[in-house]
Amino acid sequence: MTIKTNPGNFFEDFQLGQEIVHAVPRTVTAGDVALYIGLTGSRFALHASDAFAQAIGYGKAPVDDILVFHIVFGRTVADISLNAIANLGYAQCKFGAPVYAGDTLSTRSTVIGLKENSNRETGIVYVRSVGRNQRDEVVLDYVRWVMVRKREQARPAPDALVPELAAAVAPADFYLPAGLQLEHYDRALAGSPHGWEDYQKGERIDHVDGMTLEESDHMTATRLYQNNAKVHFNQHAESKGRFGKRLIYGGHIISLARAASFNGLANALRVLAINGGRHVNPSFAGDTIYAWSEVVDVIELPGRADLGALRLRTIAAKDHPCADFPGPDAAGKYPAEVVLDLDYTILLPRRLA
Amino acid sequence: MTIKTNPGNFFEDFQLGQEIVHAVPRTVTAGDVALYIGLTGSRFALHASDAFAQAIGYGKAPVDDILVFHIVFGRTVADISLNAIANLGYAQCKFGAPVYAGDTLSTRSTVIGLKENSNRETGIVYVRSVGRNQRDEVVLDYVRWVMVRKREQARPAPDALVPELAAAVAPADFYLPAGLQLEHYDRALAGSPHGWEDYQKGERIDHVDGMTLEESDHMTATRLYQNNAKVHFNQHAESKGRFGKRLIYGGHIISLARAASFNGLANALRVLAINGGRHVNPSFAGDTIYAWSEVVDVIELPGRADLGALRLRTIAAKDHPCADFPGPDAAGKYPAEVVLDLDYTILLPRRLA
Amino acid sequence: MTIKTNPGNFFEDFQLGQEIVHAVPRTVTAGDVALYIGLTGSRFALHASDAFAQAIGYGKAPVDDILVFHIVFGRTVADISLNAIANLGYAQCKFGAPVYAGDTLSTRSTVIGLKENSNRETGIVYVRSVGRNQRDEVVLDYVRWVMVRKREQARPAPDALVPELAAAVAPADFYLPAGLQLEHYDRALAGSPHGWEDYQKGERIDHVDGMTLEESDHMTATRLYQNNAKVHFNQHAESKGRFGKRLIYGGHIISLARAASFNGLANALRVLAINGGRHVNPSFAGDTIYAWSEVVDVIELPGRADLGALRLRTIAAKDHPCADFPGPDAAGKYPAEVVLDLDYTILLPRRLA
């Protein structure tokens, strides 16, 4: 009689080069899209409106890239991070083929780095995860690293290998949806007159609006993604845990920051890349999430007079409006109110030549 | 470098005759319909069942009219009521072409009235908003007026113009869906034997059932409609505000009153019109909403032996069951428990001649 | 002027052999499926993925059987259990034709047993309810019995008739979806290597994961099913009631136990039958639900080398992890932490010969 439940993987269970087929392929539906709007308040017209999407060359509204991220990521949790102590970071996250309601997403990962910690009780696992649709097209390709418990402290660890990770996804790796035609792009319907040319390097935007977190909302979002990390759902266990309460899935904070960014970045057509991201403090039900962004780079796209990219740094803070642009101090230390520091790149329309 | 966020419009920003194209066209989907049922408990068979709808001549189940109202209304908030102090009323609200999952709704408004208040700090803005589907058919046409802050008290105001508004939508303006065939209308499946002939002018119906409001529910409903009025979402700010807590979108109370009205008005086929409506007291999470209705008028529809209309006054109350039919006193003053006074007209089947 | 609201049926209103057509046929949609995943965290690949379903012979992903149960059951509440004091049990619950998004479900019931209680204030009503799709195919057929108030104690009761109910649904009555082809069944994608042969009679599985109940979640689930039993929704009334708080729909606990059972039973292809079930203690918001299962029987299916069945007993407990397999004592008395004792049968893939 074998153990039927999944104990998750421990540090020793991972091997360099190991390939993992994650379970539960997931068909994304109009139901997921509605629930995502209901849980985040996202207002980007491209993802809310078939008619708007069709006017610029899509067959119908593509699914919000961040929702795609959550679904692809959700597949990996049972294998990668069930015994994780901390989700340390993301890098090299490239969004690929647009996802539409009806597409089925599945995820495979490769272990690309391993490093035992000096306490020998934990180690860091680096995985590259690739999400594909039912036609085997890549929809998302990213690296994350997590700190995972060892099963036995005494067990010898493999030689450390820390992968080299790019600081940012290169413009040559941006995936521009084929057939995108900006002639009939309507900024009034999108919600802002500001296109790519209107943003300047170093510009800071307070996204103004705050959203208060509820247990039901973050749990429903996280369950929707079939992310089964225990810390988000079980108050009985967490009441005796480190925080005494359920920890909110960091990805939900990304969703809220992205939804808030509509106010200032309404013409963002898609997330091209997540260059890096860190959940620098935990969030809990009752916290109100605010966000601001800095334009880190204004990127011209070779051969495209109609589109440009912005590299952004978006910081989310709890119970702290972002008019004063909170962030790390000179030593890189984050104040307690900052919960997210996200480096990502978006696509915007240009004024047509 | 221009300000990228939307500060909303102040009283001075509105001009008589001004036309406003509201952002974010919205495709209504089966996901929205499911979430609407999940958040309100609505049981009207026509909106819940394709088979029921097809039996009376629809291609599939039309979307609940009140959900259509919320989505069309939601578009207007960023332009009309972001700086509103109070949503004062609705009038002349006519429902048009049925909306089906897959339709994309967008809204345009015209400023039809302006009146500065005597304190010179605020003014009243009257707008007529028209929601249309992707074929440019009108799905909703209504007037609302809101009290909006002035940017500067000293700024001179335009001449006051208060539009004349009809007390009720006239039967000639009712939109009856083409092809509606009542021969196979099944009252047992609809949930009540009572059709149009069974209701009498002056009749009062206690809808009996109470529904307790949760923060997560009203926020999810309001986010689903992409209504971004700040007071509904931000506990951090509202804790220092007038009520110390988040205010519930008045439209959510309309949804709950309408869902409760199934118990007594199960054969309501559609909302033909909202003649007027006022949110007379605020609602908060934790309140339990009850409702009752009075039949204000029994309206024959010219040339239709199969259909009739009822003009109703529906009152919703919090933490107060409605067996005693709470409402305004002789002086028109509402008791603290009454939160909604809605005057609307519904379509019902008649006993076929 | 007749009373327009539904007072529900009392014990005297039921007659042996009576047939009841329940109101509000319900089209199940992709929205319901998404919300069901969002509210329960269910991860069964067959219900989450069109591609997975197609690989084994379905046209697209069938709807989770327990969601079908809730929707069929929800139709019956207004007629059967609005005045119920207790939902006493289920039996002979057979799942039939698979349900797909787009199908419309309706329910009819027959009264098959009546028995007045000795206090003459209440009686037990046994009904057999049959859910059908729009093609009149049976999707669910089950018996439940409820304790219902009498309208008047003095009213004479009919002769008692308690139906004979089978202890379990017989294998001959299992409905195996036509066209099911297991050649391409992928256990890695399903989430577990364990098929039918790997389970042994008497084996116990702790499903490990706990899920904390929120008011918003259980109310949204129950409203989604259009189950309008008052005790789940009205804190104003329940604050003066037996528990002082809203009682959670027992079916939501079944959903959570079934979702948790993925961890240990990921290859369950469908629920073939619910042989019996009892909600042995109430659940409330704030409780954390855990579950464990015992394999009661390992059932070979005649003529099928590719499929087998397991009869399970699944017990759910609140605020009590199930590593110690909590259950009734020798006298059959349940400890306060046990909330559900469910006897049901699932279909699993076999290792292909």
In a domain, C197, yes or no: yes
Q: Kindly state the percentage of chain A with pLDDT values over 90.
A: 93
E strands in B72-121: 84-95, 104-116
Quote the pLDDT of residue C191.
97
- Are A108 and A18 in a shared domain? yes
Q: What number of C-beta contacts closer than 8 Å exist between B and C?
A: 138
Output b/e per residue, A105-117; b: 16+ Cβ within 10 A.
Answer: bbbebebbbbbbb
The separation between the first and the last C-alpha atoms of chain C, rounded to the nearest angstrom, is 70
Look at residues A169, A165, A160 and name the one whose alpha carbon lies nearest to residue A113.
A160
Rounded mean pLDDT for each run of 10 residues along chain C, 353 residues in total? 88 96 98 98 98 97 98 97 87 98 98 95 96 98 96 88 96 94 96 96 98 98 96 97 96 98 98 96 98 98 95 98 97 98 98 71
- Are C208 and C142 in a shared domain? no
A96, A129, A163 - which closes a domain = A163
- Are B261 and B323 in a shared domain? yes
Q: Which residue of B has its CA nearest to A201?
A: B1
Residue A156: pLDDT band (50, 70, 90) is confident
In a domain, C230, yes or no: yes
Q: Which residue of B has its CA nearest to A187?
A: B23
- Are C146 and C207 in a shared domain? no
Quote the pLDDT of residue B187.
97
CA A184 to CA B88: how far, in whole Å? Answer: 37
Quote the pLDDT of residue B78.
96
* Amino acid at site B213: L
- Kindly state the tokens that stand for B3: 């300000």
Sign of CA dihedral B151, B154, B160, B165: positive
CA B108 to CA B106: how far, in whole Å? Answer: 7
- Are A268 and A221 in a shared domain? yes
Q: Mean of the pLDDT values across residues B256-264?
A: 98
In a domain, B50, yes or no: no
Q: Mean of the pLDDT values across residues A149-166?
A: 91
In a domain, B147, yes or no: yes
> Does the beta carbon of B292 lie under 8 angstroms from any beta carbon of chain C?
no
A110, A130, A163 - which closes a domain = A163
- Kindly state the tokens that stand for B317: 């109350």
- Are B288 and B350 in a shared domain? yes
Under DSSP, the state recorded for B107 is E
CA A340 to CA B138: how far, in whole Å? Answer: 43
**CATH number of the domain within which B343 lies:** 3.10.129.10
User: Is residue B18 exposed (0-12), middle (13-18) or buried (19+ Cβ within 10 Å)?
Assistant: middle
Quote the pLDDT of residue A86.
84
CA A278 to CA B210: how far, in whole Å? Answer: 44
CA B169 to CA B141: how far, in whole Å? Answer: 11
> Does the beta carbon of A119 lie under 8 angstroms from any beta carbon of chain C?
no
CA B270 to CA B259: how far, in whole Å? Answer: 13
DSSP string, C8-22: ---GGG--TT-EEE-
- Kindly state the tokens that stand for A97: 């083929």
Pick A51's closest partner by Cβ from B27, B219, B224.
B27
| Interchain pair C26, B49: CB under 8 A | yes
> Tens of pLDDT along A92-125?
999 999 999 999 999 999 999 999 999 999 999 9
Give the DSSP H/E element, type plus range, for residue C235: helix C235-238
- Count: domains in chain C: 2
Residue B184: pLDDT band (50, 70, 90) is very high
> Does the beta carbon of B64 lie under 8 angstroms from any beta carbon of chain C?
no
Quote the pLDDT of residue C237.
97
**Neighbors of chain B by Cβ distance (3+ pairs < 8 Å):** A, C
In a domain, C284, yes or no: yes
Pick B5's closest partner by Cβ from A38, A48, A205.
A205
User: Is residue B200 exposed (0-12), middle (13-18) or buried (19+ Cβ within 10 Å)?
Assistant: exposed
| Interchain pair A31, B34: CB under 8 A | yes
> Does the beta carbon of B63 lie under 8 angstroms from any beta carbon of chain C?
no
**pLDDT over threshold 60, residue B353:** no
Measured torsion, CA atoms of residues B232, B235, B237, B238, in degrees rounded to the nearest 10: 70
CA C248 to CA C262: how far, in whole Å? Answer: 22
- Are B209 and B337 in a shared domain? yes
Output b/e per residue, C323-341; b: 16+ Cβ within 10 A.
Answer: eeebbeeeeeebeeebbbb
C32 in Cβ contact with C68 (< 8 Å) = no
> Does the beta carbon of A117 lie under 8 angstroms from any beta carbon of chain B?
no
Residue B351: pLDDT band (50, 70, 90) is confident
> Does the beta carbon of B216 lie under 8 angstroms from any beta carbon of chain C?
yes
Contacts of A266 (CB under 8 A, 6+ apart): A43, A44, A45, A190, A191, A192, A194, B23
* Amino acid at site B291: A
- Are A85 and A208 in a shared domain? no
Quote the pLDDT of residue A158.
87
| 3-state SS, residue A266 | coil
CA distances from A190 to B8, B25, B136, C45 (A): 16, 8, 18, 36
> Does the beta carbon of C109 lie under 8 angstroms from any beta carbon of chain A?
no
> Does the beta carbon of B244 lie under 8 angstroms from any beta carbon of chain A?
no
Look at residues A131, A66, A137 and name the one whose alpha carbon lies nearest to residue A344.
A66
Quote the pLDDT of residue C108.
98
Residue A258: pLDDT band (50, 70, 90) is very high
C97, C126, C153 - which closes a domain = C153
Q: Mean of the pLDDT values across residues B9-15?
A: 95
Contacts of A108 (CB under 8 A, 6+ apart): A19, A20, A21, A22, A129, A130, A132
- Are A156 and A211 in a shared domain? no
Query: Which residues of chain C does B39 touch, with a Cβ-Cβ cutoff of 8 Å?
Result: 220, 223
A269 in Cβ contact with A346 (< 8 Å) = yes
- Are A103 and A237 in a shared domain? no
> Does the beta carbon of C108 lie under 8 angstroms from any beta carbon of chain A?
no
Owning domain of residue B113:
9-28+63-165
In a domain, C172, yes or no: no
**pLDDT over threshold 70, residue A353:** no
C129 in Cβ contact with C107 (< 8 Å) = yes
CA A82 to CA B13: how far, in whole Å? Answer: 54
Residue A351: pLDDT band (50, 70, 90) is confident
CA A41 to CA A37: how far, in whole Å? Answer: 5
- Are C138 and C199 in a shared domain? no
- Are C146 and C221 in a shared domain? no
User: For the CA atoms of chain A, what is the radius of gyration?
Assistant: 20
> Tens of pLDDT along B68-112?
999 999 999 999 998 888 888 999 999 999 999 999 999 999 999
**pLDDT over threshold 80, residue A352:** no
Quote the pLDDT of residue A84.
85
Look at residues B270, B230, B247 and name the one whose alpha carbon lies nearest to residue B94.
B270
In a domain, A303, yes or no: yes
In a domain, A5, yes or no: yes
Query: Which residues of chain A does B34 touch, with a Cβ-Cβ cutoff of 8 Å?
Result: 31, 34
Query: Which residues of chain B does A29 touch, with a Cβ-Cβ cutoff of 8 Å?
Result: 31
* Mean of the per-residue pLDDT values of chain B: 96
C288 in Cβ contact with A236 (< 8 Å) = yes
| Interchain pair B31, C27: CB under 8 A | no
- What is the pTM (predicted TM-score) of this model? 0.98
Give the DSSP H/E element, type plus range, for residue A73: helix A65-80
What values do phi and psi take at C59, rounded to 5? -70, -40
Contacts of B330 (CB under 8 A, 6+ apart): none
Give the DSSP H/E element, type plus range, for residue C237: helix C235-238
